[in-house]
């Protein structure tokens, strides 16, 4: 059975131009897969294009063009050969106050421009402790995917990222992740009649735990933050999950 996963690196706002140059020397030519997407800080994107992996954005806006200082549109992204955009990352929700309605508009515009969207969902520690995980995920899925036609789902990937696991070194058990991904998939089937939505896991994925996480039966791949900025660690994750 085909067991190759998708690996997405979210480099966030990390590394200087000099560090990026060193990073690229180690990464380029070593990946060799269009199942790997690297999302650098956007000013560095031209350095990453036309290599042996895909390039994604960490965020895109909801309009094609116009007076929106500091934003990047999906249309601009597509015109640069960018294939993927992350939408609704918990840091965007937390620090930029992005709500489901805005996220939904961003998702739709990105799909309109034929980008693959990675929609991030996940619960806080408090919500987890209050046993509200499924409720929170349901709200984020309904809000983020509202109004999508069935054929638009071919462009959607969900990333289950428990917020308490992001950058903390804490990771749910494989059983917990399997159960939650099962819930997400069954919800998308029930509400949108879409059967094969890919669901990634994200949250403290490293070169040390990837072998274990890769055993999760229903995971389609991994969204990697911190470890994606360290070439050796990131290449190890790719080797285990993709190759």
Q: Which residues are catalytically annotated?
A: 89, 161
Site stretch for ligand PEP (CB under 6 A), options 35-43, 94-102, 161-169, 207-215: 161-169
Query: Which listed range, 24-32, 137-145, 208-216, 220-228, lies at the site for ligand PEP (CB under 6 A)?
Result: 220-228
For ligand PEP, the binding residue among 36, 110, 199, 205 (CB under 6 A) is 205
Taking the least distance from each CB to ligand PEP, the nearer of 10 and 113 is 10
CB 225 within 8 A of CB 10: yes
Q: Where are the alpha helices (DSSP H) in 125-230?
A: 125-129, 133-144, 174-192, 210-213
Candidates 185, 233, 241; CA nearest to 214 is 241
Phi, psi of 6 (to 5 degrees): -100, 135
Instruction: Identify which of residues 152 and 240 has a Cβ nearer to ligand PEP in the complex.
Output: 240
Among the candidate windows 121-129, 178-186, 202-210, 233-241, which touches ligand PEP by CB under 6 A? 202-210
Interface residues for ligand PEP in 165-194 (CB under 6 A)?
166-167
Q: Quick one: CA dihedral 94, 96, 100, 104, positive or negative?
A: negative
Q: Give DSSP secondary structure letters for 61-99.
A: -SSSSSS-TT---HHHHHHTT--EEEES-HHHHHHS---
Per rule CB under 6 A, is residue 162 in the interface with ligand PEP?
no
Q: Count CB atoms within 10 A of the CB of residue 215.
A: 9
| Binding to ligand PEP in span 2-31, by CB under 6 A | 10
Residue 59 or 192: which CB sits closer to ligand PEP? Answer: 59
CA-based nearest residue to 105, from 70, 146, 71? 146
Question: Of 18-26, 33-41, 104-112, 201-209, which segment contacts ligand PEP by CB under 6 A?
Answer: 201-209
**Least Å from the CB of residue 121 to ligand PEP:** 12
Contact 148, 108 (CB under 8 A): yes
Q: Give the DSSP per-residue string, 12-52.
A: TT---HHHHHHHHHHHTTT---TTEEEE--GGGHHHHTTSS
Q: Does 56 bind ligand PEP (CB under 6 A)?
A: no
For residue 203, state whether it binds ligand PEP (rule: CB under 6 A): yes
For the CB of residue 177, give the shortest distance to ligand PEP in the complex, in Å. 13
Could you give phi then psi for residue 202, rounded to 5 degrees? -140, 145
Query: C-beta of 229: minimal distance to ligand PEP in Å?
Result: 9
Name the residue whose CB lies closest to ligand PEP.
Answer: 225
Which residue number, 74 or 226, has a Cβ lying nearer to ligand PEP?
Answer: 226
Applying CB under 6 A, the residues found at the interface with ligand PEP are: 10, 161, 166-167, 202-205, 223-227
């Amino acid at each position: 059975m085909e067991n190759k996963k998708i690996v997405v690196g979210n480099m966030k706002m990390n590394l200087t131009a000099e560090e990026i140059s060193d990073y690229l020397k180690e990464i380029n030519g070593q990946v060799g897969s269009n199942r790997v997407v690297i999302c650098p800080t956007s000013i560095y994107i031209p350095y990453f294009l036309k290599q042996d992996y895909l390039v994604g954005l960490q965020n895109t806006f909801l309009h094609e063009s116009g007076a929106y200082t500091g934003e990047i549109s999906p249309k601009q992204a597509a015109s640069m050969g960018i294939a993927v955009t992350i939408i609704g990352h918990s840091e965007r929700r937390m620090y930029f106050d992005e709500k489901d309605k805005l996220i939904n508009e961003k998702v739709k515009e990105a799909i309109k421009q034929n980008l693959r969207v990675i929609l991030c969902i996940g619960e806080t520690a408090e919500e987890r402790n209050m046993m509200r995980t499924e409720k929170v995920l349901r709200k984020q899925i309904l809000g983020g995917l509202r109004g999508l036609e069935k054929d638009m789902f071919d462009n959607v990937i969900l990333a289950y990222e428990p917020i308490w696991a992001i950058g903390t070194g804490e990771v749910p058990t494989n059983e917990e992740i399997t159960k939650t991904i099962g819930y997400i998939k069954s919800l998308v089937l029930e509400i949108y009649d879409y059967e094969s939505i890919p669901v990634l896991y994200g949250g403290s994925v490293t070169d040390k735990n990837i072998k274990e996480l890769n055993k999760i039966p229903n995971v389609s791949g991994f969204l990697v933050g911190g470890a994606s900025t360290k070439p050796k660690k990131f290449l190890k994750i790719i080797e285990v999950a993709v190759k």
